[in-house]
Structure 1
């Protein structure tokens, strides 16, 4: 099936690796992961359902900006404009990643014709709590044939 190819193509690596590299790089790796996954999804989606690459590239750019501000944060006091800007842009970045998670979730659920309660349904709650870690985890479970009823999260 076409959606089996999509799931297979979205599989990259373990969720632990994604978490570790994201922590080490202050989210920059996670942004690169989002870009890769979006490009892969967009090859399978019709034009009107594609996720905006401009939006995704903004996530990537913002991840590098927040990394730079994070480094600068170590050399200024907490009320310095660099610290304030860093805190604000961190929040904007986190919200954009969250929005991406729901965009991706909705596209995958629609593409696979998944319904709530089915094993291949991407949960809104887990997406909210662990974007994109949950997305990666769910892709790994589905690509390994784990779409049995035991994996309904």
Structure 2
């Protein structure tokens, strides 16, 4: 089952994702995509590690090339987050079609997992014009989020910590 959780910054997406997987009895894999650059990143990483503590997740730090991860069959996966993965592919690796590359990776990985949850952010809603490379990032994120939502069994928008089901139903 593929689930996409979207929403604004710091609105409870991670907590919702972890709650969905709380009853899963098999192996739980957390794919961490945030590179530990700077104090803000280190703070966010520490906060997420504390949130996951004691919940049975195995952490795989993979900042690019998620298609290369060797997942055990039948596991549950929480990929956090698509926005960091996109930035890493675009700006660290110079990938020319990052949305398609990430979609291919998700397709490969989700085929092995019993449950696969992707956390993403809503970007580009502010209507402000940015430099060209930022506008391309926003465009690529739109392509990625739309493709994942189309393929997903469940799409949830986190609104102030409340899961709003846009596609599929609560289990």
Normalising to structure 1: TM-score of the pair? Answer: 0.26
Greater percentage in strand: 2
Greater percentage in helix: 1
Structure with larger Rg: 1
Q: Which has the higher contact order (CA 8 A, sep 6+)?
A: 2
